[in-house]
Structure 1
Amino acid sequence: MYYPYGFYDSTMLLMIPAILISLYASFKVKSVTNKYFKVRSQRGMTGFDVARRILDSNGLSHIPIYPVGGVLSDHYDPRNQTVSLSEEVYHGNSITSISVAAHECGHALQHSKGYFPLTFRTAIVPVVHFASSASWIVIMAGFLVSPRFLYIGIMLFAATVLFQIVTLPVEFNASSRAIKQLEALGISSDDENRECRRVLSAAALTYVAAALSSILQLLRLVLIARMGSDD
């Protein structure tokens, strides 16, 4: 075995901040979204109503909106140009519902405007899917067979790290567009806009945590590789 300690060494300490912020992000998004799922928007518009209003007002009436199962499983698919909203968001008229719906429409607006980070992220999705599936298999081969596999695995894992980093401006920008649309279309009041920002900020924290975890994991793998080569 090339690396006698495998994953269990002093480099594990690098993952402590990532674990802590991930736990906090998970707690934060659940507590904030659950809180504002219970707060009805003043205009009483559902997530579907908000999404339809935003899309139609921006010349995107051709984009369909579908309800999907799951909790906060909302997403915009640039491949077939569809907005999918979780049942509670689609049918709900809460602050969380209108915030999340507007956010997903923010991605549709990015796509229509050719927002480069979204275009780039979409383009590398096939590569990232392969890299994320293969990287840990190759990395384990590096521990058990040859250090060459470890370096290849690190390069594959770096692709997933790049994806997480590119995701940050995509998500922050979508939230910014969402708030602007809610304000411009008079969907929410000033007080509600502040509440919508809280919801979207909490959700954004999960992407920050994911990016940090990926970066620290990559750094850890590089350190392990260097420690092995020094031996």
Structure 2
Amino acid sequence: MFPFGWYYYDPTWIIVLPALILAFYAQAKVSTTFERYLRVPARIGLTGAEVAREILRANGIYDVTVEMTRGRLTDYYDPRSKVLRLSPEVYGGRSLAALGVAAHECGHAIQHNVGYAPLNLRNTIVPLAGIGSQMAFPLFFIGLLLSSDFLATMGILFFSAAVLFQFVTLPVEYNASSRAVAALESAGFISYDEVEPVKRVLNAAALTYVAATLMAILQLLRLLALFGIYNRDDR
């Protein structure tokens, strides 16, 4: 069984420390980078919403609508309703940051339209990953408290689904950013010297997904370490 002190101190938290540090850095990086290029107007003079609609049309996508949503950096593409939702600063913004983010979300719509395999896989495992992230820790720790290897193992397996989701998300996000830059360049929405600033915005955003993936991996390793220590102390 667990040593008495374990109810008050978990030594395995150190495993996730690198991911926590990266997560804080990534969040600060995306905020500062977005804020910086939010002040830099794009030469084309169009809003994020206007550029998004033009990119969609250029790719033969006519069944996706562009709407404004509340919040900051809350931009996303909803494949179920085929709606591209942009935050106010992106929807009506004329900055390089606004154009980059809007084009990135168009990248997801393009992926959906062409049947990009990693996106299809991610959309398929979303329900399983959602259940896994909610059920994993309760099952795991209830299993340890009840000395049930079955429940603890189920918790680990459930969390593995969430880890898989994060793995699949990485190529989806990077591919959407690549499509975004290509779409902006080919249509002439950004000039040569504006490409690098747009890439900085998108790379900063992508770093948050890298941090999330690392966190998921290290959390899984932490669960495995706890399970191993539990079994060792229970003998």
> TM-score, normalised to structure 1's length?
0.96
* Deviation (angstroms), 1:215: 0.3
* Deviation (angstroms), 1:6: 5.4
> Relative to structure 1, is the Cα distance of residues 3 and 121 closer, same or farther in structure 2, using a 3 angstrom cutoff?
farther
Q: Distance in 2 between matches of 1:209 and 1:50?
A: 29
2:30 matched residue in structure 1: 29
1:122 matched residue in structure 2: 123
* Deviation (angstroms), 1:2: 5.0
1:178 lines up with 2:163 in the alignment: no
1:195 lines up with 2:201 in the alignment: no
Unmatched 5+ stretches in structure 1: none
1:2–1:145 Cα contact (<8 Å) kept: no
1:169 is matched with which residue: 171, 174, 186?
171
* Deviation (angstroms), 1:3: 6.9
Count of residue correspondences: 231
1:103 matched residue in structure 2: 104
2:47 matched residue in structure 1: 46
Unmatched 5+ stretches in structure 2: none
Q: Aligned letter for 1:191?
A: D
* Deviation (angstroms), 1:143: 2.8
* Counterpart secondary structure, 1:41: coil
2:61 matched residue in structure 1: 60
Q: Distance in 2 between matches of 1:193 and 1:19?
A: 31
1:6–1:143 Cα contact (<8 Å) kept: no
* Deviation (angstroms), 1:125: 0.9
> Relative to structure 1, is the Cα distance of residues 152 and 138 closer, same or farther in structure 2, using a 3 angstrom cutoff?
same
1:3–1:143 Cα contact (<8 Å) kept: no
Q: Aligned letter for 1:35?
A: R
2:225 matched residue in structure 1: 223
What do residues 159-185 of structure 1 show as CA deviations (whole Å, max 9, x unaligned)? 111101110000000000000000100
Q: CA RMSD in A?
A: 1.4
Q: Aligned letter for 2:212?
A: A
* Counterpart secondary structure, 1:84: strand
1:13 matched residue in structure 2: 14
1:113 lines up with 2:137 in the alignment: no
* Deviation (angstroms), 1:147: 3.4
What do residues 92-128 of structure 1 show as CA deviations (whole Å, max 9, x unaligned)? 1111100000000000111111111100000111111
* Deviation (angstroms), 1:222: 0.4
* Counterpart secondary structure, 2:94: coil
* Counterpart secondary structure, 1:51: helix
Q: Distance in 2 between matches of 1:185 and 1:3?
A: 64
Is the deviation greater in 139-148 or in 176-185? Answer: 139-148
Question: Hey, which bits of structure 1, 4+ residues long, moved more than 6 A?
Answer: none
Is the deviation greater in 137-146 or in 3-12? Answer: 3-12
1:157 lines up with 2:159 in the alignment: yes
1:77 matched residue in structure 2: 78
Q: Distance in 2 between matches of 1:21 and 1:230?
A: 32
Quick one: percent identity of the two aligned structures? Answer: 46
Q: Aligned letter for 1:69?
A: R
